[in-house]
């Protein structure tokens, strides 16, 4: 692999991000690495741990802010593996001159999500760097919790004919950030930034639940590519079944984005045995955040390692992992 310099594309969550991760991992002996590259790692089979950094711009966006995002992002990585978020550590890197009032406001947002989920802040760190060395504020969170499912969830459990579901409409976080940056004001467009645990916990008792994934950077399309490539099975999606709000589609039409690759911050992709698909849908729709939950496709033994999208006009297109960066600093 040839990689001389890091580019913004390496932060896209897509193919270049995978390349960068491989460069980092390549210097570690295999005995020092976890074998699965899911949203969170399971240590001692029971304890889930994850870490994420947040550099979103703007820090305040329709539907949330960087403080709320920092807790939801890491807590959701645990939730999709059936791990109850319980503890969190937080590192704050602030630029010299950053207003204390603004920092306090973001910490109140973070605290509110912690209280809602029963998460305890157990450790932290602060750094202040000279003006111009970072843009405002970066937050890193590391979340820890205990797995509550009898066995670990993961894409390794996916089987041919499994049903794929999304918990809500896609692309709202990415569209909200894009609209803010380009001074667009679509009616009713807000980020979907929210904690997923309350919506996903009731699913954990379903025997046919295979795996779940938080559709953040790279969006739904990247998650589907990771599942297809990781399991060497095909995934077929139905464009008709994928819920996309008109406000998100309008932003995509103006800015040239593909909603399949726009980031979400409160949307999970779910793989489930088809006999349990309706049960999953019904449970999800009992949560106010998941009224748009939909069946969007299935796993197949055809076109192994690839994702195919059945279009609304009856055609078929390949959904590939994105190579470049549509919108940097989105989460």
Q: For the ranges 195-199, 210-214, 326-330, which has the lowest average pLDDT?
A: 326-330
Binned at pLDDT 50, 70 and 90, residue 183 comes out as very high
Q: How high is the mean pLDDT of the chain?
A: 95
Mean pLDDT across the stretch 118-144? 97
- Residue 35's pLDDT is what? 67
Residue listed under structure tokens 């406000």 = 247
Percentage, residues of the chain above pLDDT 70: 99
Per-residue model confidence as pLDDT tens digits over 7-16: 988 887 888 8
pTM over 0.75? The answer is yes
Where is average pLDDT lowest: 8-17, 19-28, 146-155, 287-296? 8-17
Q: What pLDDT, on a 0 to 100 scale, did the predictor assign at position 1?
A: 56
The pLDDT of residue 118 is 98
For the segment 60-79, the average pLDDT, to the nearest whole number, is: 98
């Amino acid at each position: 692999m040839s990689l001389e310099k890091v580019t913004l594309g390496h932060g896209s969550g897509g193919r270049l991000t995978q390349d960068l991760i491989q460069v980092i991992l390549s210097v570690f002996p295999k005995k020092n690495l976890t074998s699965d590259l899911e949203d969170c790692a399971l240590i001692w089979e029971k304890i889930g741990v994850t870490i994420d950094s947040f550099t979103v711009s703007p820090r305040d966006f329709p539907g949330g802010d960087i403080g709320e995002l920092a807790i939801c992002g890491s807590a959701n990585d645990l939730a999709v593996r059936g791990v109850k978020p319980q503890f969190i550590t937080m590192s704050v890197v602030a630029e010299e001159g950053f207003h204390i009032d603004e920092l306090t406001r973001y910490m109140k947002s973070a605290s509110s999500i912690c209280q809602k989920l029963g998460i305890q802040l157990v450790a932290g760190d602060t750094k202040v760097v000279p003006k111009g060395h970072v843009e405002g504020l970066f937050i890193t969170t590391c979340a820890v919790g205990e797995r509550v499912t009898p066995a670990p969830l993961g894409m390794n459990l996916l089987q041919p004919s499994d049903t794929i579901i999304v918990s809500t409409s896609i692309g709202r976080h990415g569209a909200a950030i894009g609209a803010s940056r380009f001074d667009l004001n679509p009616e009713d467009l807000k980020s979907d930034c929210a904690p997923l645990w309350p919506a996903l916990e009731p699913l954990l008792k379903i025997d046919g639940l295979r795996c779940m994934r938080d559709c953040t950077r790279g969006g739904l399309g990247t998650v589907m590519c990771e599942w297809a490539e990781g399991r060497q099975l095909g995934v077929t999606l139905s464009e008709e079944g994928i819920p996309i709000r008109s406000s998100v589609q309008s932003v995509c039409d103006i800015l040239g984005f593909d909603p399949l690759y726009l980031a979400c911050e409160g949307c999970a992709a779910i793989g489930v045995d088809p006999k349990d698909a309706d049960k999953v849908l019904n449970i999800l729709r009992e949560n106010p955040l998941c009224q748009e939950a939909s069946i969007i496709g299935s796993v197949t033994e055809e076109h192994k390692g690839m994702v195919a999208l059945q279009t609304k006009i009856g055609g078929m297109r390949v959904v590939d992992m994105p190579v470049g960066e549509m919108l940097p600093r989105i989460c």
